[in-house]
Copies of this chain bind each other. A is one copy, B any other.
Amino acid sequence: METLYVKVPGTVDTSYPIEIGAGLLGSVWAGLDERFAGRGRFVVTDANVAAAGLLDELLAGTEVPCYTIEPPGEVSKNVDTAVGIVEAMEKACLGRDTLVVALGGGTVGDIAGFAAAIFKRGVPVVQVPTTTLAQADSAIGGKTGVDSSVSKNAFGAFWHPAVVYIDVATLKTLDERQYRAGLVESVKHAVIADAEYFDFLERRLDDILGRKLEVLEAIAGYNCRIKGSVVEADPHERNKRRILNYGHTIGHAVESASSYDLLHGEAVAVGMAAAGLIEAEMGLAEPARLQRVQGVLERLGVPVRLPDSIAQEKVLDLLQHDKKAVGKWPRFVLTDRLGHAYCENGQYAVDVHREIVEKVLKKLR
């Protein structure tokens, strides 16, 4: 008997740039020429983004093979779509020197990022997020994934983007409901990591809702700095990165229980309201914090109560099947003051008794 060892060489620190601006979409193609000369390109987008004219603005008259996800949205975020993208890339005779460009919202970025991760053992992806959700959250951090028939993100890979281009002017194309729901992730960032950012959101909310470009650039900067620093500290979500799941444990269950009638951000808003009530139950509340957070969410016009159509038992059952703790009662991310995630014994995902969650769900009506 013999034991040999194969070394897996480590990697050096790298970084990827996030360009933030208003109206930069038309110059992305030229930027890629500089950064990735000689690479073939393949664009993944969806029917809504194309219809809004953003694909034409990106391509600026060039001919590039594209895959348009149809229908747009969560319903297409499955492994069949990812397989379809890979096969379309093959049919376009693309090889390992290809660059995948994801133009669209969170769904497009997640699917395209995953397809890039698994195409011929991985090719780089450029994220060009065009929604409040994707610009604040999903385009940064390297999480990609698609759903199976059984659960969300059953398939996935950590696949960091090569570069991210955030054009806040693209947000003008969003419908009001999607625009507002996506801003919930910005509120989440402020609540878990930056009280000053929360003050800014509270103060400038009318300008944000009016889609004033300079304030949108400012919040993009806040979001990327917060999310970037959390991801840097814990890229594979061993502990600290879990704080980004604030409001998401109950949020995912509510989203699923609504059969995805609720948008992701809307469900997370309910989850954040629930987290606030859990904090109060557990003695982590500060005076007025819950009211301030709920106040901002209400001004966004997103729900902060459990809709009547969703049974509490359904939510509890889905929590029991949470993907982060299959078969066990999940842990929760909480805050102990505005802009500060609660840490217990060095862990950011903490135990909350099922009885407390049941009580909170009753209060959420």
Q: Contact residues of A with B, CB < 8 Å?
A: 1-21, 24, 79, 83, 86-87, 90-91, 93-96, 114, 117-122, 140-145, 148-151, 153-158, 160, 217, 221, 224-225, 228, 231-232, 235, 321, 323-327
A114 contacts across to B, CB distance below 8 A: 118
When the two chains form their complex, are residues B324 and A8 in contact, meaning their CB atoms are under 8 A apart? no
Contacting pair A155 B2 (CB below 8 A): no
Taking a contact as CB atoms under 8 Å apart, the answer to whether A10 and B7 are in contact is no
Do most interface residues of chain A lie in helix, strand or loop, or is the interface mixed?
mixed
Whether A83 pairs with B87 at a CB distance below 8 angstroms is no
Whether the pair B7, A232 counts as a contact (CB closer than 8 A) is yes
Q: List the B residue with the shortest CB-CB distance to A140.
A: B6
Number of copies: 2
In contact, B1 and A18 (Cβ under 8 angstroms): no
User: Which of chain B's residues have a CB closer than 8 A to the CB of A217?
Assistant: 2
**A151 with B90: in contact, given A11-B10, A145-B121 (CB under 8 Å)?**
yes
A325: contacting residue among B4, B19, B95, B232, CB under 8 A: B95
A-B contact pairs, 27 of them (CB 8 A): A2-B21, A2-B221, A3-B17, A3-B18, A5-B16, A6-B15, A6-B16, A6-B18, A6-B141, A6-B224, A6-B228, A8-B16, A8-B142, A9-B13, A10-B14, A86-B148, A87-B149, A90-B151, A94-B326, A95-B323, A96-B324, A118-B157, A119-B155, A121-B153, A121-B158, A122-B157, A157-B157
State in angstroms the CA–CA spacing of A178 and B176 once bound together: 62
| Neighbour of A231 across the interface among B2, B6, B16, B157, CB < 8 A | B6
User: Which of these, B4, B16, B21, B118, contacts A17 with CB under 8 Å?
Assistant: B4
Bound Cα distance from A114 to B86, whole angstroms: 15
- A97 CB, min distance to chain B CBs, angstroms: 9
* 13 further interface pairs, Cβ-Cβ under 8 Å (given A2-B217, A95-B323): A2-B221, A3-B19, A6-B141, A6-B224, A6-B228, A7-B232, A10-B13, A90-B148, A90-B151, A95-B325, A96-B323, A117-B157, A120-B156
Give the docked Cα–Cα distance between A155 and B89 (Å): 11
Q: Judge whether B24 and A1 touch: CB under 8 Å.
A: yes
